[in-house]
Structure 1
């Protein structure tokens, strides 16, 4: 198995000083995008980096120079080549690929750039005309231009599959003599030598003779504002003696080499006397190509072809409790489920028919791949619904109960229970719905696109559930009025708000949620309850009880055993205890309910470390995605959150957040 990592820590801006840029998040504007199609363009099969879809409808013209006057353009070249500029930049990646090999590392790296010309030998004239036009534009603006010639180094002809050694892991680098290019070369050398693969470190071989594409060398020699790097890339990702590749190694190499080049570009800009960005990541793509949006739509189509939570939730929870009570709490209840609206196997077929490499962006490709894997796991769970296998699939998605989380839950449950209000004011489902609608209307006053639906359902267990833009309320729900505002802040001001904000981004994946988002989402929901001054002792005990039951279920305890654990050993009333156990045992055993307390602890940890929570309002993301969100914001492809939760601006909210930040234990909230 290929082991791949970079010793260098990824660059990121400080999370404590999170700010938003006002850059573009839309496709290349139609008025500035000039695209042409060559009359010799051949059909472009999926999966080839030379065959990526263009960002806009193409215009027929033979005058290349007129089209490259625009700040942003995408020009298809013969045999699937492309010239892509998403904004004026002082660098341009060049790659002339012989043949139509989709697994050229040089071609893959070039295609990730916001500024590249990628072509085959049949398009030399067109490619050179575009490069010359870009050079002329930079000279007119009195701006430098760094041309980077990427090429694949030759393979070792004596190696075969049985050979005791692999292809060399060596890059070959040359730089023009100007100080800016030399500084960029030094930076690139340092970044490349930080890459390791298969327990080997990348070596960089410096050569005095540069490698040029045909016709590029005279262009560099005759223009004082042009600097040049040539970078030969290894083919250690190929199976020795064969054309086959190790796909994960190829992908990881392309991402790391591209990141190394971005670091070099930042140094080149600084040494050229221009204002360099604080982070090299901001030099990445500032627009989405059509292919990325197509991938996003296809993932959305699969994600919305079923409702995961409804699919795994029983429809007879209320009746099952009555039957359980009639058995004197001795016989495990029998739950019934809705028919599935999707065939999991067919949905998986559609899922893996999506070619993620066409996104032309390593960050987006990673997000898409993570989401595809998560959807795959959900579909596996639906396929094994109401069977013993379900809980093992659940473990893959939500994980087990770690010892620290179990200890925190038990500490909460061990706290003495104080006297309860015997006659609290209660509200029913109708009142909950009207109060929720009132809160949604308040959000809509500041954002007319804050549209969400509320409905009362007879087929749900007591409680509330958010799916997409829908707030579902069980008709059996009765709750204390004192808890109503806090619960709606959880459901509306976190779950619905991040759905609406995510929907406003350029990609719908921020609406459906990046992979692994659920834990921090539920933690933010509990955080909203705390800041709203509505996180009661009973609510904390309920969250802790869920953790304890998940742990017991995974340890082999049955439904009745877990019910007794709550009702007899921890003093939880019969109806709430049943509902907790029913949630955990649904569909065969769901470990999801442990994420509420885990997510809340994670939020408290982020607050204690000084992390700004602003990135979480962009859409549905996990904590590990904060650097990704910051990078996309720097690149201008993510918008600032359209709406901020109202509980953050309430009187006393700052003081309560400070108290949470300094909390040494969740149990201290009791």
Structure 2
């Protein structure tokens, strides 16, 4: 064991513990209402405020709390700061899941994690919804096309896909585990990757779980939005929707060129926390993704208008408006019933989820960062925020954090 490994060894246990917590404490998953369809139908027919029901907590809460209670070594001050802050963030997320429906707590906790929109962000959002007319263009591109484009983008960057590592998987897995994984990977449309992962968890097969976390898998999912799950190396594309022309290329930039690439570089670091994400990294993450959409010529005015609507919904929530008042305000800005419902739901899920401003706020951050001559390479060492840069620079100087292996293609 060399000096660097000796220095980092005290952090291995807390690193592994927090990665396991990250895989269990899926905040947005647990904030998705089970009765959305029913409540939406009732809401659109009446003035009744929607009351939502949520999923039962499926993970072992005591086990999560025990892991979060572990002491963080102070041998490397910068790492101690990183792990203590991440513990606090995951602890808040766990409490939010336990206290869904407690509006005051959910709003306070989510504001602590994600911050709140300032006047510049709110004013920019209002300008966008006024300047960009409602767009409802044709959406004829099937989900499978989007999935395949993204899979090719992963290969282009040199990330490892499970479907390309069959021989290695055969060596790792027992017969039943290998057949189960191959049945999914060879399925024609790779439906419901999220459901497959739940099935993997239920098997209790640790070797299978370790194998599916080793390589990237891109499949279709039940969630409406395309999503990267860095802790699992999963990417899902909604299988029940069609996409607009250009969405596949835009999502390849956004999801692969930023979300997956920053995770992949994080896994190249000596500690996995750089792949799961440091505390408060998501504002920079989402801002960088939208910024690179612009830089590569793949930005969508329809999507930008949606991000602006998200800011307005969060701003309305923070002003004390109820669901109906926020919905009506969005309608005044020419959002359709469907759009106004989705935007309001995102802001009021769990009781009041203050997060959705980060996409537009992060974009403004990135424009300012570029204007001031910011170094974009350092943002690719892993999933870090702008506020982590001084700390990360010190870790690079100490030889603990490496420069990024994978870099975004901006052409």
Question: What residue number does 2:306 align with?
Answer: 542
Query: Is residue 132 of structure 2 the alignment partner of residue 412 of structure 1?
Result: no
Structure 1, residues 543-581: CA drift from partner, whole Å, max 9, x if none? 1111111010121212121111112x1111222222111
- Where do 1:455-604 residues align within 5 Å? 455-458=219-222, 460=223, 462-468=224-230, 469-567=233-331, 569-604=332-367
Quickly say closer, same or farther: Cα 1:552–1:522, change in 2 above 3 A: same
**Aligned match for 2:9, one of 290, 293, 298:** 290
**Aligned match for 1:635, one of 385, 398, 406:** 398
Structure 1, residues 629-657: CA drift from partner, whole Å, max 9, x if none? 222222222222121122x2x1xxxxxxx
Aligned residues of 1:452 and 1:496 also touching (Cα < 8 A): no
**How far is 1:435 from its partner?**
2.2
- Which SS does the other structure have where 1:480 is aligned? coil
* 2-structure distance, mates of 1:416, 1:528: 20
* 2-structure distance, mates of 1:336, 1:476: 23
* 2-structure distance, mates of 1:319, 1:488: 34
* 1-structure distance, mates of 2:112, 2:137: 43
Aligned residues of 1:307 and 1:467 also touching (Cα < 8 A): no
**How far is 1:331 from its partner?**
3.2
- Which SS does the other structure have where 1:304 is aligned? helix
Aligned residues of 2:102 and 2:350 also touching (Cα < 8 A): yes
* 1-structure distance, mates of 2:356, 2:61: 23
- Which SS does the other structure have where 2:240 is aligned? coil
Aligned residues of 2:160 and 2:215 also touching (Cα < 8 A): no
* 2-structure distance, mates of 1:384, 1:394: 12
Structure 1, residues 37-59: CA drift from partner, whole Å, max 9, x if none? xxxxxxxxxxxxxxxxxxxxxxx
- Which SS does the other structure have where 2:220 is aligned? strand
Higher-strand-fraction structure:
1
Question: What residue number does 1:386 align with?
Answer: 101
**How far is 1:298 from its partner?**
2.1
Question: What residue number does 2:387 align with?
Answer: 624
RMSD of aligned alpha carbons: 2.5
* 2-structure distance, mates of 1:500, 1:548: 33
**Aligned match for 2:140, one of 426, 431, 441:** 426
Quickly say closer, same or farther: Cα 1:444–1:416, change in 2 above 3 A: closer
* 2-structure distance, mates of 1:439, 1:622: 24
* 2-structure distance, mates of 1:549, 1:563: 8
Aligned residues of 2:31 and 2:349 also touching (Cα < 8 A): yes
- Where do 1:268-283 residues align within 5 Å? none
Higher-helix-fraction structure:
2
Structure 1, residues 354-399: CA drift from partner, whole Å, max 9, x if none? 2213x51111111111111111111121111133232222122122
Query: Is residue 67 of structure 2 the alignment partner of residue 342 of structure 1?
Result: no
- Which SS does the other structure have where 2:356 is aligned? helix
Quickly say closer, same or farther: Cα 1:534–1:323, change in 2 above 3 A: farther
Structure 1, residues 508-539: CA drift from partner, whole Å, max 9, x if none? 11011111101100101111211221222222
**How far is 1:323 from its partner?**
4.6
Structure 1, residues 599-656: CA drift from partner, whole Å, max 9, x if none? 111111111110111111111001111122222222222222121122x2x1xxxxxx
**How far is 1:351 from its partner?**
1.0
Aligned residues of 2:140 and 2:245 also touching (Cα < 8 A): yes
* 2-structure distance, mates of 1:319, 1:644: 45
* 1-structure distance, mates of 2:64, 2:375: 38
> Could you state the TM-score of these two structures normalised by the residue count of structure 1?
0.50
Quickly say closer, same or farther: Cα 1:583–1:423, change in 2 above 3 A: closer
Question: What residue number does 2:183 align with?
Answer: none
Gaps of 5+ in 1: 1-26, 29-85, 87-284, 651-670
* 1-structure distance, mates of 2:41, 2:403: 49
Aligned residues of 1:394 and 1:591 also touching (Cα < 8 A): yes
Structure 1, residues 230-283: CA drift from partner, whole Å, max 9, x if none? xxxxxxxxxxxxxxxxxxxxxxxxxxxxxxxxxxxxxxxxxxxxxxxxxxxxxx
- Which SS does the other structure have where 2:393 is aligned? helix
Query: Is residue 62 of structure 2 the alignment partner of residue 300 of structure 1?
Result: no
* 2-structure distance, mates of 1:553, 1:299: 31
Gaps of 5+ in 2: 166-213
Quickly say closer, same or farther: Cα 1:484–1:351, change in 2 above 3 A: same
Quickly say closer, same or farther: Cα 1:345–1:416, change in 2 above 3 A: same
Structure 1, residues 442-494: CA drift from partner, whole Å, max 9, x if none? 22379989942223233x3x222222221123333332122331123111211
Question: What residue number does 2:190 align with?
Answer: none
- Which SS does the other structure have where 1:486 is aligned? helix
Question: What residue number does 1:373 align with?
Answer: 88
Question: What residue number does 1:396 align with?
Answer: 112
* 2-structure distance, mates of 1:335, 1:412: 31
- Which SS does the other structure have where 2:158 is aligned? helix
User: Which structure has more RCO (C-alpha within 8 Å, separation ≥ 6)?
Assistant: 2
Aligned residues of 2:25 and 2:94 also touching (Cα < 8 A): no
- Which SS does the other structure have where 1:347 is aligned? helix
Q: Could you say which structure has the larger radius of gyration?
A: 1
